[in-house]
């Protein structure tokens, strides 16, 4: 670490954050990721970041903010501290069943009828990969032997490099299966010394990359999609960032495409461009056209 930051290597347990420092750090995080941290979380912040400051040998948040401005690796560490990566295979089964029986079925039928056996899906905020692999599994279940004649691409992105690395590795412990029927686990995973490894046929459909949803230029480079999944991600953004991200999804989707959000998320007051389509268990947001 450069001398600018190497003062007072104290192993103190908690470094206090002033309101002013909190606001500086909050604004920095918002600027870099679109994640908005409410002042109510200031003390949670203080405890989470104190450990990192101690590891770095920094005695104040002022020094930490200086470091963040010049050190890209530290910025990635910061993202790890502020994001919640909670996920699992087949998360929210009720929604997934409604998606499979309605949205996915409709899109597959439409594509078949148009003689275009191709489907492009974007999983935005994919964490360690459970969501896009689940989508690949749903496609295997829906298409069975017919899958071989389809061109399917699931683009899965996340802000966090360690999450993307885990996703690419594709080996999971029991926790990742807490919402998964056993039959799915044994059909699509093989036992590995480190856990359960996703089968190559499932992995083949998914392409992972690190991407910041706050970076509109990167979002524009994602191939156009028939379906966008962005579940349990926009919940961490403020209204302005939600609007920007949802507009990017709208622009990315092909006419007739659908946006799927998490069960506690809504486009109410965010975007009126999509038409909500209600199914028991989920709302799918349609880009008409």
Ligand X SMILES: C[S@@+](CC[C@H](N)C(=O)[O-])C[C@H]1O[C@@H](n2cnc3c(N)ncnc32)[C@H](O)[C@@H]1O
Which residues are near ligand X by CB under 6 A? 33-35, 83-87, 91, 125-127, 131, 158-160, 163, 212-214, 231-233, 236, 262
Nearer to ligand X (CB atom), residue 15 or residue 237: 237
Strand order in the sheet with 118-124: 206-210, 151-158, 118-124, 225-230, 253-261, 282-286, 275-279
| Minimum distance from residue 34 beta carbon to ligand X (Å) | 5
3-state secondary structure labels for all residues of the chain:
CCHHHCCCCCCCCCCCCCHHHHHHHHHHHHHHHCECCCHHHHHHHHHHHHHHHHHHCCCCHHHHHHHHHHCHHHHHHHHHHHCCCCCCCCCCHHHHHHHHHHHHHHHHHHHHHCCCCEEEEEEECCCCCHHHHHHHHHHHHHHHHHHHHCEEEEEEEECCHHHHHHHHHCEECHHHHCCCCHHHHHHHEEEECCEEEECHHHHCCEEEEECCCCCHHHHHCCCCEEEEEECCCHHHECHHHHHHHHHHHHHHEEEEEEEEECCCCCCCCCCCCCEEEEECCEEEEECCC
Closest contact distance (angstroms) between CB of 220 and ligand X is 15
Of 107 and 231, the one with the shorter C-beta distance to ligand X is 231
> By the 8 A CB rule, do 61 and 55 touch?
no
Cβ 87 vs Cβ 135: under 8 Å = no
Q: Give whichever of 58 and 233 is closer to ligand X, judged by the CB atom.
A: 233
Instruction: Using the minimum distance from each CB to ligand X, give the nearer residue, 58 or 285.
Output: 285
If the CB atoms of residues 46 and 80 are measured against ligand X, the closer one turns out to be 80
Which CB sits closer to ligand X, 58 or 159?
A: 159
* Residue with Cβ nearer ligand X (58 or 229): 229
């Amino acid at each position: 670490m450069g001398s600018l930051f190497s003062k007072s290597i104290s192993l103190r347990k908690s470094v206090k954050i002033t309101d002013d420092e909190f606001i500086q750090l909050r604004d920095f995080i918002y600027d870099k990721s679109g994640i908005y941290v409410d002042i109510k979380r200031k003390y949670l912040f203080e405890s989470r970041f104190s450990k990192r400051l101690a590891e770095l040998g920094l005695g104040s948040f002022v020094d930490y903010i200086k470091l963040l401005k010049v050190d890209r690796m530290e910025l990635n560490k910061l993202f790890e501290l502020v994001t919640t990566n909670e996920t699992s295979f087949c998360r929210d089964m009720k929604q997934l069943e409604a998606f499979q029986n309605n949205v996915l079925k409709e899109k597959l039928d439409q594509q078949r009828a148009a003689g275009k056996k191709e489907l492009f899906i974007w999983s935005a905020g994919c964490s360690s990969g459970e969501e896009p692999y689940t989508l690949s599994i749903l496609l295997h279940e829906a298409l069975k032997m017919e899958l071989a004649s389809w061109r399917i691409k699931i683009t899965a992105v996340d802000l966090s490099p360690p999450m993307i690395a885990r996703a690419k590795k594709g080996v999971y412990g029991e926790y990742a299966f807490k919402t998964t029927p056993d039959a799915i686990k044994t059909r699509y995973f093989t036992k590995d010394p480190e856990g359960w490894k996703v089968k190559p046929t499932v992995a083949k459909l998914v392409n992972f990359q690190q991407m910041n949803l706050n970076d509109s230029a990167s979002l524009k480079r994602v191939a156009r999609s028939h379906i966008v999944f962005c579940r349990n991600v926009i919940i961490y953004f403020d209204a302005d960032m939600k609007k920007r991200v949802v507009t990017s999804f709208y622009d990315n989707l092909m006419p007739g495409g659908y946006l799927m959000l998490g069960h506690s998320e809504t486009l109410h007051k965010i975007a009126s461009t999509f038409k909500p389509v209600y199914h028991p268990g989920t709302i799918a947001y349609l880009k008409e056209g």
